[in-house]
Amino acid sequence: MKAQEPSTFRGRKGLPISVGHRLVGSVKAGLLPIDHPLLLLVAEPRRRGFSLRDGLWVRLLDAKAALSARSYLDRGSVVIEVIDEFCPWNAGRWRIGADGVDRTDEAPDLRCDVSALRSVYLGGFTWKQLARALRVEEVVSRATARADAIFRVEIAPWCPETF
């Protein structure tokens, strides 16, 4: 079975496909984004043996330029204190919101290493997920929820190339 559109993956009567059924002998898919509809359309995904691998690595070399290059939802702003021992010019406090990105001397809402910032930069993880994993310190109560609202993305990051 070869298909590009999610509707092609539907079985008879619009029900999720069941691999092994007479109409669908097998489904082979590779390098799909984590939020691809196929993962939800297969009737029994646990039996399919899906595996996840990271394929997109990001290192923020210029935090100001990188953070300014992406968009944010208009949900206020958040001050993030970034720790970056390898690129000390990135270290400091950054006010981030739909109005832009600027250095600030204001007290931080969140504190994290640059590796945590890169995890949310493209939308692969949320601030709340990183806080639960002890990768982000929530200095101000509910700051992770506010940051998640500001950084929210509709589509998960994905790189279709292997390198």
**Would strands 136-138 and 92-97 be described as parallel, antiparallel, or unpaired?**
unpaired
Cβ-proximal residues to 153 (8 Å cutoff; 6+ apart), any chain: 122, 123
Domain boundaries defined on the chain: 1-53, 63-151
Beta partners for residue 77, in sequence order: 97
Cβ-proximal residues to 91 (8 Å cutoff; 6+ apart), any chain: 82, 83, 84, 85
What does pLDDT average to in each consecutive run of 10 residues of the chain (163 residues)?
Answer: 55 50 61 72 72 78 96 96 97 96 98 94 92 96 97 86 72
DSSP letters for the chain = ---SSGGGG--GGGPPB-TTSTT-------S--TT-THHHHBS-GGGGT-----------SSHHHHHHHS---SS-EEEEEEE-SSSGGG-EEEEEETTEEEE--SPPSEEEEHHHHHHHHTTSS-HHHHHHTTSEEE-STTHHHHHHHHH--SS--------
pLDDT of 31 reads 75
Q: What is the pTM of this model?
A: 0.76
- Which CATH code of 1.10.10.10, 3.30.1050.10, 2.60.40.790, 3.30.1780.10 fits the domain covering 63-151? 3.30.1050.10
pLDDT of 26 reads 64
pLDDT of 46 reads 72
